[in-house]
Amino acid sequence: MKASFAKVPTPLELELHQEGRRLTPQRKKVLDLFQRIGGGKHLSAEDIHGKLIQSKSRVSLATVYRTLRLLVKMGFLHELELSEGGHRFELLSQDHPDHHHLVCVNCGRTEEFESDQVVLAGKEAADKQGFKLLESTLNVRGLCPDCI
Amino acid sequence: MKASFAKVPTPLELELHQEGRRLTPQRKKVLDLFQRIGGGKHLSAEDIHGKLIQSKSRVSLATVYRTLRLLVKMGFLHELELSEGGHRFELLSQDHPDHHHLVCVNCGRTEEFESDQVVLAGKEAADKQGFKLLESTLNVRGLCPDCI
DNA sequence: GTGCGTGCAAAATCTTTGCATACGC
DNA sequence: GCGTATGCAAAGATTTTGCACGCAC
């Protein structure tokens, strides 16, 4: 007999329970939203709150903020400080651990890219100063083709 | 006869006048402060306001914000978005046009470094997407020797 | 049932802005 | 003297927090 009807715990659920925390519908909805829209999207807390409200999900903005901070600390999301007007969050996927951003300073359009050279340069700088590297992100600011 | 008693206009004064703007004591004091403490220091608007008040200079916080935005636009200062709790500003010197930051996520200590590889990688990414590159900065986050 | 998480609203930050006055040019 | 810049205070924008209630465990 297979246990095919047993609920499969999500990674989020597992990790929460390890720390004595709980998987609430709100937390699930926030992470689900990021997973539905896919990686490479940069959302503000207001964006997330708005989208959840639109999809008939009752979540308060305060809880969105609390959940975002939690998911960042747990490593599911990544916090960006690219633009004016508040921080953005993106899904952190295993496929793109250290990616960088190309931002148009005029229209805000952002593109992502990866570069081993950059990761290596960051690692060398950290080593030289005796730092333990956690992450390195290159922010390239410029004008996109439409804004030149 | 030498014009040795003529006041020598500062670059700030010259550039302001070209745009029909004025060199006020407040603007002079803000830029002077950055030049006195030297490059590589990262100050918040509050820091700057506090230091000016301490040195008996009457400048309002609103003017500090307005002046910082102006000096960034004029290219005298550079705006950083490294840390939580507001933006920081640093003196932009000709010696270190494109430098990067190593930040300790625990204590906030920051070190600067330069890397041609990083600048090159940023340029390549911009070219590939058709962006006109303005600046690129690598933010390396980690733990400094004291916080490991 | 226990105690963590949520919602609400108020508070705390950080930054910008309107307007009358001051002053660099 | 003209018009920009300042100071002040109020408004705005974003994020955090205190507290009572609700719900995941």
% of chain A beyond a pLDDT of 90: 45
Task: Identify the pLDDT of residue A85.
Answer: 63
Q: How many Å apart are CA B71 and CA B107, to the nearest integer?
A: 28
Q: How many Å apart are CA A139 and CA B125, to the nearest integer?
A: 11
A59 touches strand D (CB under 7 A): no
Task: Identify the pLDDT of residue B111.
Answer: 87
Task: Identify the pLDDT of residue B110.
Answer: 85
For the cut 80, the answer to whether the pLDDT of residue A50 exceeds it is yes
Distance B134 CA to C16 C1' (A): 26
Whether chain B has a CB inside 8 Å of the CB on A144: the answer is: yes
Contact call for residues B126 and A141 (beta carbons, < 8 A): no
For the cut 70, the answer to whether the pLDDT of residue A84 exceeds it is no
For the cut 80, the answer to whether the pLDDT of residue A49 exceeds it is yes
Distance B79 CA to C3 C1' (A): 44
Q: Which nucleotide is nearest to A24 (CA to C1')?
A: D24
Question: Span A102-108, mean pLDDT?
Answer: 82
The DSSP H or E segment spanning A19 is: none
Whether chain B has a CB inside 8 Å of the CB on A130: the answer is: yes
Cα separations in angstroms, B93 against A37, B15, B18, B40, B90: 42, 16, 21, 9, 9
Whether chain B has a CB inside 8 Å of the CB on A136: the answer is: yes
Task: Identify the pLDDT of residue A16.
Answer: 93
Task: Identify the pLDDT of residue A92.
Answer: 86
Contact call for residues B66 and B79 (beta carbons, < 8 A): no
Task: Please tell me which residue, A41 or A29, carries the higher pLDDT value.
Answer: A29
CA nearest to A90, candidates A20, A31, A136, A5? A31
Q: Which two tokens stand for residue A110?
A: 């952002």
Low-confidence ranges of chain B (pLDDT < 70): 1-7, 83-85, 94-97
Alpha-helical (H) ranges within B19-141 are: 25-37, 45-54, 61-73, 116-129
Task: Collect all residues of chain A within an 8 Å Cβ-Cβ radius of residue B141.
Answer: 133-136
Which domains occur in chain A, in start order?
1-95 (1.10.10.10), 96-148 (3.30.1490.190)
Contact A140 B128 (CB under 8 A): no
Nearest-CA distance B75 → chain A (Å): 15
Task: Identify the pLDDT of residue B108.
Answer: 76
Question: Span A18-39, mean pLDDT?
Answer: 93
Task: Please tell me which residue, A108 or B29, carries the higher pLDDT value.
Answer: B29
Distance A3 CA to C12 C1' (A): 51
**Do the annotations mark residue A147 as ligand-binding?**
yes
Q: How many Å apart are CA B52 and CA B58, to the nearest integer?
A: 7
The DSSP H or E segment spanning A18 is: helix A11-18
Whether chain B has a CB inside 8 Å of the CB on A63: the answer is: no
Burial label, A41 (beta-carbon count in 10 A; 0-12, 13-18, 19+): middle
Facing residues of A31 across strands? Answer: none
Distance A144 CA to C24 C1' (A): 39
Task: Identify the pLDDT of residue A5.
Answer: 57
Q: Which residue of A has its CA nearest to B81?
A: A81
Question: Span A7-36, mean pLDDT?
Answer: 91
Whether chain B has a CB inside 8 Å of the CB on A121: the answer is: yes
Query: How many CB pairs lie under 8 A apart between chains A and B?
Result: 122
CA A105 to chain centre: 21
Whether chain A has a CB inside 8 Å of the CB on B72: the answer is: no
Contact A120 B122 (CB under 8 A): no
Q: Which two tokens stand for residue B90?
A: 């640093």
Q: Classify residue B49 by its DSSP letter.
A: H
Q: Which of B102, B122, B131 is facing A126, going by the closest CB pair?
A: B102
B118 touches strand C (CB under 7 A): no
**Do the annotations mark residue A17 as ligand-binding?**
no
User: What is the reported pTM?
Assistant: 0.86
